[in-house]
C-alpha cells in the first residue's frame, strides 16, 4: 500500500509568499524537510493509502473536471506542537466540500491514511511552513513567520495527486 496526498496549490503570488517563509525558516532553523523534499506550498485535503494508483488517477480526473478555482483566506499562524508550524486558512464551503468530496470519492479505491487526520470534521486545514521541528527550532520559526505574516487571500488554482513520503507529484489539474 502506498501513501497518497491530495492537495490544493495556489496562485503564483501566494505560492511565492509561502515559499519565502518556508525558505527563511529552513535557512535559520536548519529544519529543511519541506525544501529538501521539494514539497510546494499547499493545503492537503485528503490522505489515503491504496494499491490502485490507476483508479485514483481516473477518479481524480473526474473530480477535477467539476472543480472551479476558489478563494481561501489565510488568517492565522498555527502549531502542531512541537513539530509543525503552519498558516491556517479559515474553513469555508470550498475547503470543506473539497475535503468531503475527495475523501468520499477516493475511499472507494483506498483506505483512510494519516490516522484519519484529513477526514471531514477531523481535519485542520493548514499550509505547512516547516515540519519535523525541534522545540528550539519551533521558537525560531514562529518568530520568523510572525514577522512576515499578515492575513491574506489566496486562490486555489490546482488540485494535485501525489505520493507521500517521499513526495512525488503524480498529476495536477488546473481548476477552471
Average pLDDT over residues 53-63: 98
Average pLDDT over residues 130-148: 97
Residue 171 has pLDDT above 90, yes or no: yes
Say which residue, 82 or 157, is predicted with more confidence.
157
What pLDDT, on the 0 to 100 scale, is given for residue 37?
A: 95
Domains parsed from the chain with CATH numbers: 2-163 (3.90.1140.10)
| pLDDT score for 169 | 98
6 and 159 in contact (C-beta within 8 Å)? yes
CA–CA gap between residue 167 and residue 165 (Å, rounded)? 5
pLDDT in the model for residue 54:
98
Q: Output phi, psi for 134, to 5 deg.
A: -85, 170
pLDDT on residue 3? 98
* pLDDT, mean of residues 132-145: 96
Cell of 19: 515559499
Could you report the per-residue pLDDT of 9-47, keeping only the tens digit for each?
Answer: 999 999 999 999 999 999 999 999 999 999 999 999 999
Beta-carbon contacts of residue 151 (< 8 Å; ≥ 6 apart): 73, 74, 75, 76
Q: Are 119 and 112 in contact (CB under 8 A)?
A: yes
pLDDT, position 82: 85
User: If you average pLDDT over residues 75-85, what whole number do you get?
Assistant: 96
Measured over the CA atoms of residue 126, residue 68, residue 116 and residue 58, the dihedral's sign is negative
Mean pLDDT of the chain: 97
What's the pLDDT at 117?
A: 97
pLDDT of residue 18: 98
Indicate if the pLDDT at residue 165 is higher than 90: no
Give the pLDDT of residue 137. 96
Q: What is the pTM of this model?
A: 0.96
**pLDDT of residue 91 exceeding 90:** yes
User: How far, CA to CA in Å, does 135 sit from each of 29, 30, 79, 131, 148?
Assistant: 11, 13, 11, 11, 20
Amino acid at each position: 500500500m502506498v501513501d497518497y496526498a491530495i492537495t490544493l496549490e495556489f496562485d503564483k503570488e501566494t505560492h511565492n509568499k509561502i515559499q519565502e517563509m518556508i525558505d527563511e525558516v529552513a535557512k535559520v532553523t536548519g529544519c529543511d524537510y519541506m525544501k529538501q523534499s521539494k514539497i510546494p506550498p499547499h493545503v492537503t485535503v485528503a490522505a489515503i493509502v491504496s494499491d490502485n494508483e490507476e483508479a485514483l488517477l481516473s477518479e481524480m480526473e473526474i473530480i477535477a473536471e467539476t472543480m472551479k478555482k476558489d478563494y481561501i483566506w489565510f488568517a492565522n499562524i498555527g502549531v502542531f506542537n512541537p513539530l509543525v508550524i503552519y498558516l491556517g486558512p479559515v474553513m469555508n464551503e470550498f475547503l470543506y466540500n473539497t475535503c468531503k468530496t475527495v475523501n468520499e470519492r477516493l475511499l472507494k479505491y483506498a483506505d483512510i491514511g494519516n490516522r484519519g487526520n484529513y477526514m471531514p470534521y477531523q481535519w485542520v486545514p493548514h499550509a505547512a511552513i516547516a515540519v519535523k521541528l525541534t522545540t528550539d527550532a519551533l521558537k525560531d520559526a514562529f518568530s520568523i513567520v510572525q514577522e512576515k505574516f499578515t492575513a491574506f487571500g489566496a486562490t486555489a488554482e490546482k488540485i494535485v495527486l501525489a505520493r507521500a513520503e517521499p513526495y512525488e507529484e503524480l498529476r495536477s489539474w488546473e481548476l477552471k
